[in-house]
Structure 1
Amino acid sequence: MTVAPHRKELYDVAVLGSGTAGGTLGAVPGRNGVNVLLLDAGTHPRSAVGESTIPYTSGMTHRGPRDGGRRGRTGALRVIPFIRPRPLQDPAVRLVVCPHAGGSGSAYFPLARLLPDDWDVLLLDLPGRGKRHSAEPLRDMTAVAALAAGDIAPWAGPSLALFGHSMGAVVAVEAARLLQDRGLPPTWVGVSGRLAPPDVPPSPELDPALPDDELMAGLAAMGGIPDRFDEVPEFRRRFLRVVRADLEALGRHRPDPARSPLAAPLTAFGAAGDDLSSSERLGTWAAETARTFRRHTFEGGHFHFLQDGFAALARVLTAEVRHALWLRQSAVA
């Protein structure tokens, strides 16, 4: 399927597939008139819908501030697993965003556009999607967190903040702990759409062993799945392969209750209509940090931020990160 160039507002989100040939897999209607462009991983969004359609920067040859742009054995610059909408060398904040189960970093591109201009936003792609489309999805959260921490470490510094939604919340917290153990603690950690392990209630409708149609129905009930998604069967097949691996990693995750808490402020974001992050149980995240814990509840369901194009989440997230920076500066003064 090919997509002719359109106006900027028609294709605001690019969801990268996991193929190897490149090209456009399709385009399906999204929410609020924002269509979802389904791209194979090898395709740059601008080549699919026109140069002016998506202000996208792949970041495939950006050098990490700590690695000096090290070259691999082939002599090429090291490929980083992040999408960087507006790369900055000396940002006020460097925010790493960890995606939900089955999601790629590109799904959070609209959030990045709403954050302060002096923030460097790194949208992480885990194995099996986006820039890591050719890698086998990981089915163990320990391995996922270790990989994420290794990816983030070259970018760590006093301005580092981590945010994750749903499965990404677990990835963000576990990666933050590993970074802390390396002497690279983040300034702030944000968790969204998830309760702290092991307090997550079972979700039979999200059992990775379910048949395709039943699992898709469970995912669709949570929101975040574009209408007419099934019109692109190849994308659905690849998507479910990644989702099953992610759900297995979450289901097997059993963190050590005796481990040390985070040394960074932690903010939990929930939604009134989301069983996975019910407001009355968000406080379970407080035990994960030895610093300040704060929480916010939004209206809506699991993907509440799609209702307003991430606007409310971006405002609160920005305020929370700035509060954490103020706490750090006050402690030093």
Structure 2
Amino acid sequence: MNIHSILYIPQPKANAPIRLVCFPYAGGGASLFFPWLNLMPEKVEVAIIQLPGRGTRFSESPYESMDDIVECIYRALKELPSKELIFFGHSMGARIAYEITLRIYHRKEQLPVHFIASGSPAPCVRSKKPPCHNLPTEEFIKHLGTLNGTPKEVLSDPQLMELLLPALRADFKIAEGYLNTTRITIPTTITLFSGRLDDINTEELEPWFLLFQYNRDIVWFEGGHFFINENHSELISALKKEIMNCNSLDLI
């Protein structure tokens, strides 16, 4: 496990007291969060999870289990200089972030001061969709097109898709098999982000609030599951508001 390449900090800020750790959705890479870098408050350093099989780790084999992903990210976080942590995860990224938060909690270490779960049903909610990771290539690519998370020019490039498919299938296999019914209340704060047109309903979101001691709200955005890409400015405004509202942090 390469713990040094899994966590990418494009613009290190040694004096920033806060580290915003961003976890992408299945198949997503660090570049998803590059537009955020110059939009965050000066006191916030952005760290981005870069899983193998994409971006600068394109040639590496993807992880095949949630445990491998979580252990590698956990160890990488421990090696960084200490800062207050805020976790933001979208879709599968939210579940990875939750598993890391659980690991931190069980090992009695410093928890993130805020957790933002975006575009994700609660960990205890079993997926209602049939698995797609093992579909034949043509059907799998067609399915990816219906999700609107992969650019059409990428989906229509057979050579590029041949290179991307192993990481995409591995991510979807992990996401589709994920379920955690643990009922531990983590003593930190959570906010939920969700798209109004996403097929994740309120009943699937609300169990998140049982897993954290301090709950804010569900922040709704126009768009579907990938509102994170569709409503960039609104999302950034909401994210900055959540950061500013962290009671233990003085960002003003």
* TM-score for both structures, normalised by structure 2: 0.88
Residues 153 and 184, structure 1, Cα contact 8 Å, conserved in 2? no
Identity of aligned residues (%): 28
Secondary structure of the equivalent of 1:213? helix
Q: State which of 148, 151, 162 in structure 2 corresponds to 1:223.
A: 148
**CA shift for structure 1 position 170:** 0.4
**Quick one: distance in 1 between partners of 2:58 and 2:39?**
27
Amino acid at match of 1:196: A
**Quick one: distance in 1 between partners of 2:58 and 2:153?**
23
Matching residue of 1:243: 168
Residues 100 and 166, structure 1, Cα contact 8 Å, conserved in 2? yes
Q: Does 1:264 align with 2:166?
A: no
Matching residue of 2:124: 198
**Quick one: distance in 2 between partners of 1:293 and 1:238?**
41
**CA shift for structure 1 position 200:** 4.2
Residues 124 and 181, structure 2, Cα contact 8 Å, conserved in 1? no
**CA shift for structure 1 position 79:** 4.1
Higher normalized contact order (CA 8 Å, seq sep 6+, divided by chain length): 2
Cα deviation, 1:232-287, whole Å, max 9, x if unaligned, reads 323212222111111111222232424x2322111111111111x33453212111
Q: Does 1:302 align with 2:225?
A: yes
**CA shift for structure 1 position 112:** 2.7
Q: State which of 63, 67, 79 in structure 2 corresponds to 1:138.
A: 63
Q: State which of 61, 80, 95 in structure 1 corresponds to 2:20.
A: 95
Matching residue of 1:6: none
CA radius of gyration, larger in: 1
Q: Does 1:323 align with 2:245?
A: yes
Equivalent residue runs for 1:73-222 within 5 Å: 79-155=4-80, 157-182=82-107, 183-204=109-130, 207-222=132-147
Pick closer, same or farther for the CA change 1:263–1:132 going to 2, 3 Å.
Answer: farther
Amino acid at match of 1:161: I
Uncovered stretches (5+) of structure 2, i.e. residues with no partner? none
Uncovered stretches (5+) of structure 1, i.e. residues with no partner? 1-77
**Quick one: distance in 1 between partners of 2:80 and 2:142?**
38
Q: State which of 204, 214, 228 in structure 2 corresponds to 1:281.
A: 204
Matching residue of 1:21: none
**CA shift for structure 1 position 156:** 6.5
Pick closer, same or farther for the CA change 1:131–1:257 going to 2, 3 Å.
Answer: same
Cα deviation, 1:61-117, whole Å, max 9, x if unaligned, reads xxxxxxxxxxxxxxxxx9443332321002132111011101111122112332223
**Quick one: distance in 2 between partners of 1:230 and 1:160?**
35
In the alignment of these two chains, the number of paired residues is 247
Secondary structure of the equivalent of 1:269? strand
**Quick one: distance in 1 between partners of 2:67 and 2:4?**
23
Secondary structure of the equivalent of 1:251? helix
* Cα RMSD (Å): 2.2
